[in-house]
Structure 1
């Protein structure tokens, strides 16, 4: 059976710049880091534009070299109305320079034709840097369901395109685990592992708050994680578990250690005897 591998997703400790995130991840026992060099422009969100901040880029390289960690993915290449695919090229170049494997992508335009065209362009651009584009469906975005994401991937038909499932989004979109059957195994390159309360919020605002500030340790909530993971190939698990109060109380280093501990314990208890290929 393949070894479980874990990445520390940047949203779990977004206040930590990439070099600090890398050192924290290494001390906690992670195999990878997943960093966010593409700023989304949200209020109070730090900007880690490594293409513009060459000093931080050098520091990130040094941290990766010293710790031996690798970069699993960079984020987030959003497809929005009026966007130009080339705007992401500096971040793709940085990702390749750091040895990243994947780029996360989500869709925030209701113009399906435009979205499909830009997605194909992103894949073509990423191919120049030996990167894949991982399409993530998000319940508050335009591509909000598994069905929509699968359809988009079939239309694009790009060899370096993948499907990135986030456990939180899967549950909030009210997906059925059985719908994972038949999805091409080669589409899976990584998985966002987290937990959350079982009850799905009734408002978009509350859903976003939980998504960004109140996710739970693995096994603590009500998401059918075991059932989901039984239906997909074993891939690296990126732990995206932001919890504002816990990380402030414990400090990021202790908090991410507990995130990783919960994931390892859950998988050991629930999945070690399952033949995940």
Structure 2
């Protein structure tokens, strides 16, 4: 199985989009995912949809490198969500040639968040974009069942689910339940590894997710099981922030190692490789 890989912005969040695209091209990725709307107040901000010069520079690097934009983040469906607040973000995403929007359901009212998701899907469809709900353990949409309920209730053809292997594992989800959902809901997957035993505090969970993920095969998550429950031909977005390692070797090298590790781990047998830990230098994906 041939897998296309995308470099998620969180993996190299200190790199502005043009520099990130250069790093992705040098490492051998097919795509990048761009964080145009910041998630936290502490992180770097790259609002291409309001910074025309940065947008044009990013487009030049995309054209020069052949790298494509897989996804753009992040849109939060809060109780006060107004779809028109995101017109510029959606227009910029379309201009970049992006395919998908990452969405979080930040509202405890299921009917309201589903209505807002439907509105966003309709707006995205006008730009040939999909909208994909990602459930995150510490948010209002913390599990697979609630995320699926939002997608099902909105009932839009371009609405779907984005599975992050870390959040799936930390929310103690059942792979069998994942396999029951419509295949058309899944357009790509975010991949990383992590220790099988999660942090014991909320702050620990959040810090680890944003700073201490692991390359495929270095942790104890059931990557084989999760990915085998998804369509086999979807891209793998490598979202693997490794803050301590990045300080030692740099973000560009982290991007390269993430892709090298994923290719070694998945090998020619794709997601059916063993998920046993390994070192970066010596690993072989042996048949089960």
Do these two structures clear the TM 0.5 threshold for a shared fold by scoring above it? yes
* SS of residue matched to 2:32: strand
Q: Which residue of 2 aligns with 1:243?
A: 242
- Report if the CA contact (8 A) 1:226-1:270 is conserved: no
2:133 counterpart (132, 135, 146): 135
Equivalent in the alignment of 1:148: 146
C-alpha separation in 2, matches of 1:73 and 1:202: 31
TM-score (norm 1): 0.95
Does the CA contact (< 8 Å) of 1:64 and 1:70 recur in 2?
A: yes
- For the 8 Å contact 2:133–2:147, the answer to whether it is kept is yes
Distance 2:269 2:187 in 1: 21
Which residue does the alignment assign to 2:194?
Answer: 196
Partners of 1:185 and 1:272 lie apart in 2 by: 17
Structure 1 residues 43, 30: CA separation in 2 closer, same or farther (over 3 Å shift)?
same
Q: Does 1:232 align with 2:230?
A: yes
Cα 1:273–1:137 change in 2 (3 A) is closer
Evaluate the alpha carbon distance shift between residue 254 and residue 25 of structure 1 in structure 2; reply closer, same or farther with a 3 A threshold.
same
How many residue pairs end up in the alignment? 272
Counterpart residue number, 1:25: 24
1:219 to 217, 220, 234: 217
User: Are 2:18 and 1:16 equivalent residues in the alignment?
Assistant: no
Q: Which runs of structure 2 are paired with 1:22-171 in the superposition (5 Å)?
A: 22-40=21-39, 42-171=40-169
Change (3 A) 1:11 1:272: closer
Q: What is the TM-score with the length of structure 2 in the denominator?
A: 0.92
In structure 2, the residue matched to 1:261 is 260
> By how many angstroms is 1:77 displaced?
0.7
Structure 1 residue 270 displacement after superposition:
5.5
State the distance in 2 between where 1:193 and 1:217 align. Answer: 9
Higher mean Cα deviation, 98-107 or 174-183? Answer: 174-183
What is the rounded CA distance, in whole Å, between the counterparts of 1:62 and 1:269 in structure 2? 33
Distance 1:43 1:120 in 2: 28
**RMSD over equivalenced CA pairs, Å:** 1.3
TM alignment of 1:199-210, pairs within 5 A = 199-210=197-208
Is there any run of 5+ residues in structure 1 with no aligned partner, and where?
none
In the alignment, which residue of structure 2 is the partner of 1:4? 3
> Residue in 1 aligned with 2:278?
none
Q: Does structure 1 conserve the Cα–Cα contact (< 8 Å) formed by 2:194 and 2:220?
A: yes
Tell me whether 111-120 or 183-192 shows the greater mean CA deviation. 111-120
How much has 1:272 moved relative to structure 2?
A: 6.8
User: Which aligned runs of 4 or more in structure 1 are off by greater than 6 angstroms?
Assistant: none
Give 1:172 shift. Answer: 0.2
